[in-house]
Amino acid sequence: MGDTDLVDFAVDYARTKGAAYAEARYEQHFREAFILKNGVVDFVENSEDEGIGVRVLAGGSLGFSCTNTLTKAEVRGIVDGAVRTAKATKRKDPIVFAPEPAVTSNWSVPEGKKLVDVPVEDKIAAVQDIDKAVMGLKYKIPGRFYTTTCLRLVKYFANSEGSRIGSYSPRVRFHHYLTLLKGGDAEQSYRNYGWSGGWEALDAWKLEDRVLEEARTCMNGLEHGTKSPEGRMDLIVGPPVAGIMAHESCGHPTEADRVLGREASLAGKSFITPQSLGMKVGSEAVTVVDDPTVEHAIAYYLYDDEGVRARRRYLYKGGLVNELLQNRESASSFKTRSNGASRATNYDREPIPRMANTFVEPGSWTPEEMIEGVKHGIWMKTYMEWNIDDKRFNGKYVGREAYLIENGEVKGPVRKTVVELTTPMVWGSVDAVGNDLDLMEAGFCGKSDPTQSLDACLGGPSMRLRGVRLR
């Protein structure tokens, strides 16, 4: 019996065991990765993981089970387990899924330079060349840590309503830490890039230029950086900063399962409640979207892990809470429809509402035009330390590359600008959004139990905030 046959069998068998709804997902992950640490290839990873996960609705409760032993007997065993434990959970308020049409589809991501066609030695050599270029700067960089990951993800989804969806999704991730020293002072930088597609990712990112620029700006900060001024002033944030703000202060609080309390003991709840649609959270300039259909952004997909068609979600629109990220379970509670946000990290996890590519919708301003309008302020292009509380109301972003702006002109570098603001303060202060959309920045978004760390795009356009308190 082939793997897709086993998936179909799992769904049919679950129905015979009394499941009101059943879905099964086969996933095969080919992972090739390597770490280049201080000029030495520490190790190469070559992994292949495949298996089937089954989720059922039975007796008003959800049951999930998975296996990587791909036999009919084993699949029968996990279905039995999922149905039995779902029925045994003693839930009083039955779980219902919002309706969806059956879908048959097969989609894939365009892959310029196929990952399987590029030998690992060539991939390693490309990163070694970047490291050599960094060392060519002749700075003191005792910590150089580069992680490169190529993932080829094959999926086949089926449910008891007739959906049958196959997909192939290649992805490339690159992240690095650089630790630079000057005198007795240290500056550390972390950047993370993601691409859905093939090895053309490195060209698309202009990776060497980006890493070199990171090293140069670190050293510039060490050599010339001054203490960032304190007080109320204007702030221009670069695409990575706008990206993390969109992720933390818009994407997470609009996850419907979080709003309902399903994540309360983990990633927390949200300042947004089920009654918050239409609530003002920002200026009219602020529209934040989550869009899985942006080609080549790291979290690209066309159907989610419940077989629902993906689309652009307008989470904040014109400064108002507009839409939540829904899966079929949460959508039913909100008496709405799923908007295709349900994802799992692998066959061994349940799908839940997740962000994909979350970003501030670009405006018409160039960064130069935004700077011209600032009398006294900070241009914070990148960040290092960041965090936000579990209701997504109090965020902090500490500058890595940042500059003083005086009378519309960029002056010298400033160090460790602290942006510690409430979510309404961040979005309410935005008066201009840039046209410089950059969606190459990526991150690992954590949620759920057991943990599900998922690819997320953390890019965006530049953005100007007026009169915020910095230190």
Is residue 174 within the footprint of other proteins (CB under 8 A)? no
Stretch near other proteins under the rule CB under 8 A, chosen from 70-78, 233-241, 295-303, 369-377: 70-78
Is residue 184 within the footprint of other proteins (CB under 8 A)? no
Is residue 441 within the footprint of other proteins (CB under 8 A)? no
Binding mask 285-324 for other proteins (x = CB under 8 A): ----------------------------------------
Q: For other proteins, how many residues bind (rule: CB under 8 A)?
A: 92
Is residue 121 within the footprint of other proteins (CB under 8 A)? yes
Stretch near other proteins under the rule CB under 8 A, chosen from 31-39, 363-371, 405-413, 458-466: 31-39
Stretch near other proteins under the rule CB under 8 A, chosen from 130-138, 292-300, 402-410, 442-450: 442-450
The nearest distance, CB 345 to other proteins, in angstroms, is: 13
Nearer to other proteins, 64 or 403 (CB): 64
Stretch near other proteins under the rule CB under 8 A, chosen from 116-124, 151-159, 284-292, 317-325: 116-124
Is residue 280 within the footprint of other proteins (CB under 8 A)? no
The nearest distance, CB 45 to other proteins, in angstroms, is: 5
Which of 234, 255, 290, 348 forms a contact with other proteins (CB under 8 A)?
Answer: 348
Is residue 51 within the footprint of other proteins (CB under 8 A)? yes
Which of 265, 274, 406, 411 forms a contact with other proteins (CB under 8 A)?
Answer: 265
Distance CA 348, CA 267 (A): 20
The nearest distance, CB 90 to other proteins, in angstroms, is: 5
Nearer to other proteins, 37 or 210 (CB): 37
Which of 68, 108, 366, 435 forms a contact with other proteins (CB under 8 A)?
Answer: 68
The nearest distance, CB 287 to other proteins, in angstroms, is: 23
Which of 12, 200, 389, 436 forms a contact with other proteins (CB under 8 A)?
Answer: 389
